[in-house]
Amino acid sequence: MPLRWEAAVRQRTLFDDPDLNLVIDLRETQHRKYEAILATGKAAVVLAVARTLPQPFRLNDLSVACHRHDPDFFGMEGYKHHPDNHKIHSFLYGRRGLVRRGHLERVSEGLFRIPPPAEPEA
């Protein structure tokens, strides 16, 4: 149970207003953008580029390498000459992300690698 002074100090935000449904709209927009990015088929490009990098690699290394491969797609909106890490995140994480599907392993925060080949069962 919050203390009386905690309740008095907490300020309301736009997200506290249930009539505005801002949180629901935000999540729907994020989901639409995520699905649109995945629909491009560029996950295969991200994976192919990841295989060319020295292992393990940093997220920024992957972002820059993908940007070099296709600056129009992997560049930031309005600043195509800069890589967009958010697009790379979209391909790595989530239900259909490369990490979840086992194509990449997260070694530590911001550090990834291609998993070693599975050993055949005897």
Residues of the chain with pLDDT under 50: none
- From the number of C-beta atoms within 10 Å of its C-beta (0-12, 13-18, 19+), residue 121 rates as exposed
- 21 inside domain: no
- 93 inside domain: yes
Which pLDDT value is given to residue 18? 60
Full domain range(s) for residue 67: 42-113
Which pLDDT value is given to residue 104? 92
- 46 inside domain: yes
- 120 inside domain: no
Helix (H) or strand (E) holding 87: helix 85-92
- 92 inside domain: yes
- 108 inside domain: yes
Angstrom distance (rounded) from CA 33 to CA 38: 9
- 85 inside domain: yes
Domain count, the chain: 1
Which pLDDT value is given to residue 93? 85
- 16 inside domain: no
